[in-house]
Amino acid sequence: MNTSGVTLRLLDKADKEILKLPRTVKGAFFDFQHKFRSNPHTTGLKLQQLKGDSRIWSARVNDEYRVLLLRLADNDWLIVSVKHRKDVYNRLSYGVNQVTGGIEYVDLEVVEDSVLRRVPAPAPQAPATAEPAAPTQPEPARSLFADWSDQHLTDLGVAEPLLPVIRTLTTEDQLLGLVEYAPQLTGEVLLALFDGTSYDDVLDQVTKPVAATEPVDPDDFETAAQRPATVVTTTDNALREALESGDFGRWKVFLHPTQARLVERRYNGPARVGGGPGTGKTIVALHRVRHLVRQLPPGRDKPVLLTTYNKNLAADLRSRLLELGGEELLSRVEVSHVDQLALRIVREAEPGNGKQAIDDSQAVREWRGLLDELGEEKWDPEFLHDEWTQVILGQAVGTRTDYFRARRAGRGRNIGRAERAEIWQLAERFSQRLDRLGRQTWDQVAERAARLEMGREQRILNIARQRDEAGGRDNVHLQDGSGGWLRYRYRHIVVDEAQDLRPAHWKMLRAMTARGADDLFLVGDTHQRIYKNQVTLGSLGVNIRGRSSKLSLSYRTTRQILRSALGVLGETTYDDLDGSEENLAGYRSVLSGGLPAGHAFPDWAAEREGVAALIKGWDAGSDTGIPHEQIAICVPTNQMAAEMAYTLKLNGIDSVEIRSDGPYGSSGVHIGTMFRFKGLEYQRMIIAGVSDGLVPREAVSRLRDTDPVRHRHEIQRARSLLFVAATRARDSVDVFWHGKPSPFLDDSWVDTPESAS
């Protein structure tokens, strides 16, 4: 607990410098912080103003190292750097960025060194020719940003002191050298321009979202320190954790200004955050939960619900929430897998309902069984299952007559009255069959739960009305039939992976919290929708109009992977969960790495051997440090996953199967079908079996002529699956195929040196 009234913060990126310090110096740094907080003027700290500088001070960490601090106000200090004593008098520059209003700090010598280290090796000498060529002056290399004036760049938010060095940049490598030590926005702007984004788009997509909304006073550092653009941490513990867990702990402490705004904003109703893979939607959801909990009155209940699509992801959310805020935070939050939540509601209302819940693939097998028994060959089991879930259950169609009239938007080919009569009869038989077997689908569970919760909400509203009519007097019955107090189950609901929830889930969630400020907060990306649950939230009572925003900086994937992954999506259009279109404009990364690689093989067996050889190559090469659990192999089918595991085993490589509820086993390379990788992240991704006929499946391609609408939907889903798989990678993606490559792979995958072999 800090009692001295001293605030000590750490500026974003200074942590990176600290991480690189020798272990003992890091230890000394923690001691320094502690002492400084209790009394900055303790003699041992040797706090002194740098000569010739009014705001920067230095203090002692140990004999060799010094902390540089900006004095924001009397007792308010900001650590901007920790460096060797001999580097303290480098050319330092700091100021308030005129566009964002955030505090920025640059050590020009560090930046220049980083750029210089990347100077390309001299070009090889031209071979001697008989006829000596006329001496030519080497062309001076063109500055990367010659097309933009200084004014252009600073208007985009580029840090002014860096302009001279920016003008010297001629290669991508040098640019990356600069980005490493430049303020965040400078890096984002320069890379976006370098990648070919137009000036106006950079202004709209990169700069405007972080621009200050009020006039910026360049001398008011205290105000600047409060702006989201000044990314800092203040608490000892947060900092200690971030430093101890290295890059992996940064998400707990340093939110991007765009992320921070979304976390802290007050919304007048349901809000939604979109954004491409790896942009930190889950991170924002977790911080949002903490923000909401901090505003709760003290208590022992759990008024905040954090929910997501599957069990595996819910477990992951729980452990990350624990990391973020410890047991104290977790004690006020219910973290639940949405299907399980629905099942609990149903069981609570119907204690006798012991039916086993089955997933879609089991349900399709049941349909197939039914059709076989009836000798019915006209209908495709998958089509019937979709019709039943999306139209009959999805629209709560209760009678045959209603079904004749039901809208079948997005369901493909027209179905006449006679056919509807057939389907209705089959659907009745199907639900009787499930009943008899003591089974229910997750869609049925969700529907039932939605109805129960909507009924409960109605009762709550009735009670409230009666109370109002009674002038707020207490003698009215405010209890439900069972004598318990009736209230909304949650005060706030936060949903991750929102794009894949079933329509009935939304109805259920809507009814679980009172309509009002900060009631529902959803994060999700429709480009990653891999199930068939397309919804229009407005029609389900969740009104996100005017409260929708987007993240666009990827913290996971490199620019190279991101570019190729976007190619997988093709020209298809995507929705915004509310009936309008959404795109990934502005989606970008400041991380850089190798190009994705394609690997062609004559058949599946050779392809599997190829995968094993690649992993063995990594083990033998300079990458020995990669634990196998950080490598994932993703394949189109379960059968292929088993075959892949077998081949790896023969090659002495252990593997872990990713099942619907998480990894099965503890050590080895992770293997699973594409569906299993949603929300996960690996250092290296291998996507195998990306052949024509497998991605997309042959059966999908056949729909092209018979049912063009379904074909379009299925192709979109297949593209999203591959997109999700490709964007799980932090550092590298290798795509394998045999025979003809999938039509979803563009030249950036197919024309790589590996694929030519």
Ligand X SMILES: Nc1ncnc2c1ncn2[C@@H]1O[C@H](COP(=O)(O)OP(=O)(O)OP(=O)(O)O)[C@@H](O)[C@H]1O
- Binding site for ATP, residues? 275-282
Q: Which is nearer to ligand X, 19 or 709 (CB)?
A: 19
Least distance between ligand X and beta carbon 251 (Å)? 4
DSSP bridge partners of 105: 94
Options 279-287, 382-390, 583-591, 646-654: segment touching ligand X (CB under 6 A)? 279-287
Stretch that binds ligand X, among 182-190, 232-240, 275-283, 482-490 (CB under 6 A): 275-283
Nearer to ligand X by C-beta: 626 or 709? 626
What residues numbered 361-380 form the site for ligand X, per CB under 6 A?
A: none
Residues in region 188-227 near ligand X by CB under 6 A: none
Which CB atom, from 281 or from 510, has the smaller least distance to ligand X?
Answer: 281
Which of 177, 274, 277, 325 binds ligand X (CB under 6 A)? It is 277
Transcribe 43-77 into DSSP letters.
GGG--EEPTT-SSEEEEESSSSEEEEEEEEETTEE
Phi/psi region, residue 546 (left: phi>0; alpha: psi -120 to 50; beta: rest), is left
Site string for ligand X, 673-712 (x = CB under 6 A): ------x-x-------------------------------
Answer for the pair 95, 57: CB distance below 8 angstroms, yes or no.
no
Q: Residue type at 236? A: D
Pairing of strands 65-73, 56-60: antiparallel
Question: What's the min distance (Å) between Cβ of 28 and ligand X?
Answer: 26
Give min distance, CB of 137 to ligand X, in A. Answer: 46
Count the helix, strand and coil residues of the chain and give each as a percent rounded to the nearest 5: 45, 15, 35
Residue that is written with structure tokens 């893979």 in the block: 277
User: Omega of the bond prior to 696 within 30 degrees of 0, cis?
Assistant: yes
CB of residue 559 vs ligand X: minimum separation in angstroms?
15
- Reported residue count of the chain is 757
Nearer to ligand X, 333 or 703 (CB): 333
DSSP H or E stretch at residue 306:
strand 304-308
- Nearest distance, CB of residue 3 and ligand X, angstroms: 31
The phi-psi region of residue 472 (left if phi > 0; otherwise alpha if psi is between -120 and 50; otherwise beta) is: left
Radius of gyration of the chain (CA): 29
Binding status of residue 251 toward ligand X by CB under 6 A: yes
d(C-alpha 421, C-alpha 606), whole Å: 50
Distance CA 237, CA 323 (A): 12
In the complex, what is the shortest distance from the CB of residue 95 to ligand X, in angstroms, rounded to a whole number?
23
Applying the rule CB under 6 A, the residues between 526 and 565 that interact with ligand X are: 528, 555-556
How many C-alpha atoms does 61 have within 13 Å on its Cβ side? Answer: 25
- Interface characters, 302-341, with ligand X (x: CB under 6 A): ----------------------------------------
Tell me if 450 sits within 8 A of 507, measured CB to CB: yes
Residue 256 beta carbon to ligand X: minimum distance, rounded to whole angstroms: 5
Query: Distance (Å, rounded) from C-alpha 445 to C-alpha 344?
Result: 9
Among positions 188, 443, 447, 525, the unique one binding ligand X when judged by CB under 6 A: 525
Of 278, 325, 412, 672, the residue at the interface with ligand X (CB under 6 A) is 278
Query: Is residue 257 a contact partner of residue 284, using CB atoms and an 8 Å limit?
Result: no
Which of residues 598 and 679 has its CB atom nearest to ligand X in the complex? Answer: 679
CB 627 within 8 A of CB 669: no
Q: Which of 100, 279, 312, 564 binds ligand X (CB under 6 A)?
A: 279
Instruction: Report the nearest approach of ligand X to the CB of residue 336 (Å).
Output: 18
For residue 562, the SS3 value is helix
* 252 vs 507 by CB, closer to ligand X: 252
Q: Which of residues 280-299 bind ligand X (CB under 6 A)?
A: 280-283
Q: How far is the CB of 576 from ligand X (least distance, A)?
A: 15
Interacting residue with ligand X among 254, 675, 723, 744 (CB under 6 A): 254
Among 256, 529, 608, 628, binds ligand X (CB under 6 A): 256
Q: How many CB atoms neighbour CB 369 within 10 A? A: 14
**Is the CB of residue 179 less than 8 Å from the CB of residue 191?**
yes
One of 18, 96, 255, 721 touching ligand X (CB under 6 A): 255
- Report H helices in 120-162: 150-155
List contacts with ligand X (CB under 6 A).
Answer: 250-251, 254-256, 259, 275, 277-283, 525, 528, 555-556, 679, 681, 727
